[in-house]
C-alpha cells in the first residue's frame, strides 16, 4: 500500500466496516494501513476503540497511547484510553485522561458519565453524582448517566431520588433492553389496597432476584395478592418459607401470570417500599428456608462435634465483557488461608464453578477446604442452601453466596476491595451491616 490517497480510501472503508459491526474486518484493514504508516492516527485510534469494545483493555491503552503520540489533543482518544485504564483499575490515570479530554471537549456527556463511573469506583460518590448531573444537563435523555447516578445515589442513602433514577436501568444498563411486555399495567403507589393481583417478575441475576424479593413479605403484610416468579432452582426454599405464596418459575410464568391485572418488576419494588434509611428496619431477618435434614447431614459430614464451620466462597465468574466485575468481586483463595489454621476450624467449599487449580494450590500451601462430594453448587441451589445452613458463619466475596446466605439469616462476612462496596446494597450502616 502506498500513497496518502489510497491509505485514506482504505481508512474510510475500515470506518464503514466498523459502523456496520464488522470489527474484525475493520481491524484487518487498520493493520494494513499501519504496515504502510505505523503512526497513522485514525488507524491506531480505531484499533483502540475496537479493543475497548472487545474488553481488550491493555491493547486499548497501547494503541491509544500510540495514537496520542501522533495527535495528543484528540479528546476521543483520551476518553477511550481513560475507559481502558478504568477497566484496569488504574483509576487516577483514568481521571487524568478524562480531565484532559474534557478540557478539549467540555460538552461531552459520555466523558462526564465515564468520569463519574471512575469517581464511583474510588468511593467518591458525591463527586460522581455531580459528574452525572453535568452529563445530564448536556443530554437529559442520557439513560446511562441516569442509571449510574441511581447507583451512586443509592450508595449515599438518597433512596427516593435513587429509585427514581433506577427506572432507567433498562435503556441505561450495561446491556440495554426493554422491560418485559405486559398487557396488565404497572403496579403503582395509587394501586395499594384496591384488590389487584400483581405479577412480580424477575429481571436481573439470581442474587438481585433474591435481594429484591426480601420486599415481598411487606406486600403480603399489606394484603396484596401476587404471583412471584423465582428461579426454578429456589422454588423449594421459597415454598418451605412461604407456603401460602403463589410461586412460579420463569418457564411457567405466562400461564401463572394470566390472572394478574397488574405487573411489577422486582427491581422496582424499592421505589414503593424503601424510600428512606428508616424503612429498611422492616427488612425480614430471613426470606428462605433451607432443608433442615440435608443441613444436619452435611454438618455431620464436614465437621466433628465441637468444630467451628466456616463456609467459604471467594469469586464470581463473568463473561469477557464483564471481566472488570470478575476482578472487583473476586479474591484469591490463598487470601483465606489463615482462616483454616485452627485445629477446631473447618472450612467448607461453597464456591461454584471450576476451581480445581485454586483448590489444589490451597492444599499445597497447607490449607484444608472440605467439599461435600456429589453436591452441585451451581444447579442444586437447595443443596447449597443446606450447606450454608450447616455452617456457623459464611465468609464470601460479592457473589450469589452472599445473597443466599443472607436470605436464610446466616451470619455472613462480606469481603470487598478497599472498603468500597461494589454495589449499593452492600453499603454498611453505622453498625457495619448491610441495610438489606
Number of H helices, E strands in the chain: 21, 8
In this prediction, residue 418 carries a pLDDT of: 83
Contacts with 307 (C-beta within 8 Å, 6 or more apart), sequence order: 344, 345, 346
**Structure confidence at residue 316 (pLDDT):** 84
Q: What is the DSSP string of 147-166?
A: HHHHHHHHHHT-HHHHHHHH
Is the pLDDT confidence value at 233 over 70? yes
Gyration radius of the chain's alpha carbons: 25
Percent of the residues in the chain that have a pLDDT greater than 90, as a whole number: 88
Beta 246-249 vs 225-230: how paired, if at all?
Answer: parallel
Ramachandran area for residue 175 (φ above 0: left; ψ -120 to 50: alpha; else beta): beta
For residue range 105-157, list pLDDT tens digits in order.
Answer: 999 999 999 999 999 999 999 999 999 999 999 999 999 999 999 999 999 99
pTM: 0.92
pLDDT reading at 232 higher than 70: yes
Asked whether the CA dihedral 194, 200, 204, 209 is positive or negative, the reply is positive
Predicted confidence (pLDDT) at residue 238 exceeds the cutoff of 80: yes
Percent share of the chain, pLDDT over 70 = 97
Question: Do 310 and 345 meet the contact criterion of CB atoms below 8 Å apart?
Answer: yes
Residue 3: pLDDT over 80: no
- Tell me the CB-side half-sphere exposure of residue 21, using CA atoms within 13 A: 0
On the question of pLDDT at 307 being above 90, the answer is yes
Residues 144-156, buried b or exposed e (16+ Cβ, 10 A)? bbbbbbbbbbbbb
Query: Nine-digit cell at 412?
Result: 455472613
231, 237 in Cβ contact below 8 A?
Answer: no
pLDDT of 1 above 60:
no
Does residue 324 surpass a pLDDT of 90?
no
Query: Which tens digits make up the pLDDT trace of 41-87?
Result: 999 999 999 999 998 999 999 999 999 999 999 999 999 999 999 99
Q: How far is CA 154 from CA 125, 208, 229, 435, in A?
A: 10, 15, 25, 11
Q: Grid coordinates representing 238?
A: 421459597
Distances (CA, A) of 334 to 194, 303, 359, 401: 55, 21, 9, 19
Q: State residue 417's pLDDT score.
A: 85
pLDDT mean across residues, the chain: 94
Q: Which residues pair with 313 in a beta bridge?
A: 396
For residue 422, what is its C-alpha cell?
Answer: 461494589
Amino acid at each position: 500500500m502506498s500513497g496518502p490517497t489510497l491509505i485514506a480510501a482504505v481508512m474510510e472503508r475500515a470506518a464503514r466496516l466498523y459502523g456496520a459491526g464488522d470489527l474484525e474486518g475493520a481491524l484487518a484493514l487498520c493493520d494494513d494501513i499501519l504496515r504502510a504508516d505505523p503512526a497513522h492516527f485514525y488507524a491506531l485510534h480505531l484499533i483502540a476503540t475496537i479493543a475497548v469494545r472487545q474488553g481488550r483493555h491493555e491493547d486499548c491503552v497501547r494503541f491509544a497511547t500510540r495514537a496520542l503520540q501522533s495527535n495528543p489533543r484528540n479528546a476521543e482518544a483520551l476518553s477511550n484510553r481513560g475507559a481502558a485504564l478504568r477497566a484496569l483499575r488504574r483509576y487516577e490515570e483514568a481521571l487524568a485522561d478524562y480531565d484532559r479530554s474534557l478540557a478539549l471537549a467540555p460538552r461531552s456527556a459520555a466523558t462526564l458519565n465515564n468520569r463519574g463511573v471512575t469517581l464511583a469506583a474510588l468511593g467518591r460518590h458525591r463527586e460522581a453524582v455531580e459528574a452525572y448531573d453535568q452529563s445530564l444537563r448536556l443530554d437529559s435523555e442520557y439513560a446511562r448517566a441516569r442509571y449510574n447516578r441511581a447507583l451512586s445515589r443509592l450508595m449515599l442513602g438518597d433512596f427516593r431520588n435513587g429509585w427514581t433514577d433506577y427506572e432507567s436501568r433498562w435503556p441505561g444498563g450495561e446491556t440495554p433492553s426493554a422491560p418485559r411486555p405486559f398487557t396488565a399495567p404497572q403496579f403503582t403507589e395509587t394501586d395499594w389496597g384496591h384488590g389487584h393481583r400483581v405479577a412480580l417478575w424477575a429481571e436481573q441475576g439470581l442474587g438481585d432476584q433474591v435481594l429484591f424479593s426480601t420486599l415481598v413479605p411487606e406486600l403480603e403484610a399489606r394484603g396484596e395478592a401476587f404471583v412471584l416468579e423465582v428461579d426454578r432452582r429456589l422454588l423449594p426454599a421459597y415454598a418451605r418459607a412461604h407456603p401460602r405464596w403463589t410461586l412460579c418459575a420463569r418457564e411457567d410464568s405466562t400461564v401463572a401470570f394470566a390472572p394478574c391485572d397488574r405487573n411489577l418488576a422486582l427491581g422496582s419494588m424499592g421505589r414503593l417500599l424503601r424510600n428512606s434509611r428508616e424503612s429498611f428496619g422492616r427488612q425480614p431477618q430471613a426470606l428462605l428456608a433451607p432443608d433442615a435434614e440435608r443441613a444436619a447431614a452435611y454438618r455431620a459430614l464436614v465437621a466433628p462435634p465441637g468444630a467451628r464451620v466456616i463456609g467459604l466462597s471467594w469469586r464470581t465468574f463473568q463473561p469477557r465483557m464483564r471481566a472488570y466485575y470478575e476482578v472487583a468481586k473476586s479474591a484469591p483463595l490463598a487470601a483465606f488461608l489463615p482462616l483454616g489454621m485452627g485445629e477446631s476450624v473447618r472450612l467448607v467449599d461453597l464456591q461454584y464453578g471450576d476451581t480445581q487449580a485454586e483448590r489444589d494450590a490451597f492444599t499445597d500451601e497447607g490449607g484444608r477446604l472440605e467439599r461435600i462430594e456429589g453436591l452441585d453448587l451451581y444447579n442444586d441451589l437447595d443443596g447449597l442452601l443446606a450447606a450454608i445452613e450447616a455452617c456457623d458463619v459464611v465468609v464470601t466475596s460479592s457473589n450469589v453466596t452472599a445473597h443466599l446466605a443472607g436470605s436464610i439469616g446466616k451470619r455472613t462476612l462480606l469481603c470487598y476491595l478497599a472498603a468500597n462496596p461494589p454495589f449499593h446494597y452492600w453499603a454498611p450502616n453505622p453498625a457495619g451491616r448491610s441495610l438489606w
